[in-house]
Structure 1
Amino acid sequence: MKGLPLQVKSCLDKALDSALLAVETYNKPAVKFKSGGYIVLMCIAWTSLLHGIFLRKKIKPIYKEKNGRYKKVNGEIQYWELKTCVAKYFVDSNNPIRKNLEFFIPLRNKIEHKFLPELDSNIFAECESLLLNFDKIVEAEFGHKYCLRESLSFALQLFPSSETLSMATKANKDYDSIVSFINQYRSSITTDVLNSGEYAFKAFLIQVANHKSKDALPIQFFSFDKMTDEEKKKVERIAALIKEKHIPVANDDKIKPGTVVEMVQRALGNKSIVKGKKRVDKFNMDTHTRCWKKYKIRPETGSSHPERTNTKYCVYDSMNKNYGYTQAWVDFLIEQMNKDEEYNSLFE
């Protein structure tokens, strides 16, 4: 990397190595939770890349104290973390690449200490774009010769069956809360961003007859964005023919009250209290009932207007005559029930 300042070169070296390690981790057959290590390493890669870009532009990506001195933590200078780097580099808050990165920053924190192999298939498209976008920015800022694409290959992957994924999902209680976050994030971004290849890369392969030329590539990639209108129509027609029929499921992202109780109680450390002459869970079904009454998120049982809920936290199911709760409600309860005065107020 001749010609680059030493500090910039060091950041770029680290970024490229981290990205290659991320790909190697993901593509190892023995690794079950592929996206876990991949996301952590790609976040390191992106942070180093953006640091290198800022340094090359004579911008020091370091936090400062009010007196202008560089901020230190445990004696070490505190550099901008990825969230700050992304906000400063991508000025447009609706940029698909920025939205892709902002998806992974909180997700990394949520899965860092969890084992969720069933999550891999759900976020594969975003993971692929995370890598392709990385290479795109490397090329834009440092030139084609530093790109990773020459070091990468088309990986053949063994994919778990839908039955295996279903069984794993049922066995892992952390999965529901993570998927709820994923669904909420996807629903919060615009349709244009959601459909962008820079936010989530999606493709399908069509087997063709063997090439007559022995020199022809076995697999060729054609970017949809660079196709003519006529070529796009043909691709969309083929995609429509092979597209799996989506079967809608009502209230798929809602949580039953019993599950809410389990999630909150677990988040509170499974603490118990003495009630009368027996010991009970700190957060139980009675506590939950007191909460939805106190915070007025749904009507009382038997109300003539059961649909009048705070939809941020609760939705009424008219067909089954019951209520479903959101991840936001679970998060709210965890926050409030960790406050002794708030918890005690339920019983006043």
Structure 2
Amino acid sequence: MAKRNRKIGSVKMELLTKSRESMLAAVQIFNNPNIQFKSESFIVLSNIAWTYLLHAYYRSKNVEYRYYEQQGHRKRYHKTKKGADKHWELERCLDDRSCPIDKVAKSNLKFLIGLRHEVEHQMTTRIDDYLSARFQACCLNYNEYIKTLFDDGLGIDKHLSFSLQFSSIKEEHANQLREFTDLPGNISSFINDFDSDLPQNEYNDLRYSYRVLYVPKSVNHKGQADKVIEFIPANSPEAEKLNREYVLIKEKEKQKYLPGEIVKIINSMGYVDFKVHHHTILWQDKKAKDKGKNFGVQVAKTWYWYDTWLKVVQKHCAENANKYGKNT
């Protein structure tokens, strides 16, 4: 038994070593200015890092993480073509009831898994800026779990520092990121669909996407500008001022609706006979997608409607209440 436990321990440490090396390689590649294939490399390597991490955890808990079929009292293990055991992939590890990863961190990883499936089938361009917040959350979650599940000394934070940037973020740059203007259609559709299915509290959680508000800072004394990032208390006057300014900026982002959402809102107002085809006829008749009308926006291959268009639909239905089943 002691010999078996030593074997389990040595394999676990080998898995953890490979896991840490994979995550460090993922971050180093993403921060390397000479490499163009950043996001794709990060996704693959971080996927491997998390897989090995969970394999090490399951091994330490005596959870069988190999695929097998139960045949009577015996287990028939699935094998590769070369005869090796087939171990659980990351998604199977996350779905197991004994998985120690919290729900929001799982959502972050399942987003990256789905994205990996997409980039396997089509070459991508310039997705780094769009997805870096998800990657940052993935790194922080990994560092937290490897220390929590195993040992503080295994953390990778001591090996890494903030990467330096040669570009600043302006409002027009942020708008371009929000609109997914130059992403391949399959990638932008996947991102929109995945985010839409998430509860709002999960979407806003830092474990899913680590968003930071950067504000250029002028200083009055030497030494104040020695650090690129400075953390301030949430209840301080400086933070309160930033929060007020951030809310003003955030409010500039217009609410967007899919056609089905427009119809649901109208139905909830009592116009129960108003259907999607009525909506289609209405926007075509009013040429609502023409430039300059400001009724909506094209994001990749999907059209989203603004509140300005919702008001037009409400007025149309009010003028035709009997047609759409509204009792007057």
TM-score of the aligned structures, taking structure 2 as reference length: 0.67
Q: CA offset at residue 220 of structure 1?
A: 4.1
In the alignment, the residues of structure 2 paired with residue 184 and residue 219 of structure 1 have an alpha-carbon distance, to the nearest angstrom, of 35
Distance 1:4 1:71, change over 3 A: closer
Aligned match for 2:247, one of 235, 240, 244: 240
Aligned match for 2:79, one of 69, 72, 76: 72
Deviations 1:163-182 (A, max 9, x none): 9x79xx7777xx11211111
Aligned match for 1:36, one of 34, 40, 45: 40
1:203 aligns with 212
2:325 aligns with none
Query: Greater relative contact order (Cα 8 A, min sep 6): structure 1 or 2?
Result: 2
User: Is 1:11 the equivalent of 2:18?
Assistant: no
In the alignment, the residues of structure 2 paired with residue 138 and residue 59 of structure 1 have an alpha-carbon distance, to the nearest angstrom, of 18
2:94 aligns with 86
1:190 aligns with 199
The share of aligned pairs that are identical, in percent, is: 27
1:147 aligns with 155
Deviations 1:291-329 (A, max 9, x none): xxxxxxxxxxxxxx996349xxxx737323489999999
Corresponding letter in the other structure for 1:245: K
In the alignment, the residues of structure 2 paired with residue 318 and residue 185 of structure 1 have an alpha-carbon distance, to the nearest angstrom, of 29
In the alignment, the residues of structure 1 paired with residue 97 and residue 222 of structure 2 have an alpha-carbon distance, to the nearest angstrom, of 47
In the alignment, the residues of structure 1 paired with residue 41 and residue 273 of structure 2 have an alpha-carbon distance, to the nearest angstrom, of 45
Alignment of 1:1-348 (within 5 A): 5-67=9-71, 68-74=75-81, 75-88=83-96, 95-158=103-166, 162=173, 175-206=184-215, 207-209=217-219, 212-213=222-223, 218-220=227-229, 222=231, 227=234, 233-240=240-247, 243=250, 245-247=252-254, 308-309=275-276, 316=280, 318-321=282-285
In the alignment, the residues of structure 2 paired with residue 217 and residue 179 of structure 1 have an alpha-carbon distance, to the nearest angstrom, of 38
Structure 1: segments with no counterpart, 5+ residues = 254-304, 330-348
Deviations 1:104-144 (A, max 9, x none): 11210110243323222222211111111010101111121
Structure 2: segments with no counterpart, 5+ residues = 1-5, 261-271, 290-297, 303-328
RMSD: 4.2
Distance 1:130 1:71, change over 3 A: same
- The residue matched to 1:66 in structure 2 has which SS? strand
Distance 1:234 1:7, change over 3 A: farther
Q: CA offset at residue 87 of structure 1?
A: 1.4
Distance 1:91 1:318, change over 3 A: farther
In the alignment, the residues of structure 2 paired with residue 246 and residue 72 of structure 1 have an alpha-carbon distance, to the nearest angstrom, of 52
Q: CA offset at residue 246 of structure 1?
A: 2.1
Corresponding letter in the other structure for 2:200: T
Distance 1:155 1:211, change over 3 A: farther
Corresponding letter in the other structure for 2:113: I
Corresponding letter in the other structure for 1:201: Y
Alignment check: 8 A CA contact 2:188 2:300 kept: no
What is the aligned residue count? 267
